[in-house]
Amino acid sequence: MSVEPGRVPAPDGNLGRLLWAQIIASKQTVSTYTVDFRSGETVELELTQAQAEGYECLTCKAECGTGTGAFLHAGWINDFSSAFRCAACVEGDV
């Protein structure tokens, strides 16, 4: 594979997954966030930074996937980020 001078090649699949895992691992600090749910309810929750930034489900901490792991919009966090729950948690499958 040739790469233009000064450009970094895209990581292969394994490296990409490793980098993603490191990003998620670095976002496990827990803080209190105000969550404004779509239902109109406002609740203060203890969430990881990954949950607050929309990388993990609010309920089960799973990362976004497909099928029952797909994320559904649940509300907003501190007016700066969207909050998500996976389809399995919304449907009560977890």
User: Is the per-residue pLDDT at 70 higher than 60?
Assistant: yes
Residue type, 83: A
N-terminal to C-terminal alpha carbon distance within the chain:
44
Q: Is 53 inside a domain boundary?
A: yes
Nearest CA among 66, 68, 62 for reference residue 90: 68
Q: Residue 1 falls within a domain, yes or no?
A: no
Would you say residue 52 lies in a domain?
yes
Structurally, the chain folds into a number of domains equal to 1
> Would residue 19 count as lying in a domain?
no
The parent domain of residue 59 ranges over 31-90
Cα 23 versus chain centre, distance: 11
**Which is higher by pLDDT, 22 or 90?**
22
Name the pLDDT band for 91 (thresholds 50, 70, 90).
confident
Q: What pTM was estimated for this model as a whole? A: 0.76
User: Is 12 domain-assigned?
Assistant: no
Tens digit of each residue's pLDDT (9 = 90 or more) over 11-65 = 677 888 888 889 999 999 999 999 999 999 999 999 999 999 989 999 999 888 7
Of 81, 75, 36, 33, nearest to 55 by C-alpha is: 81
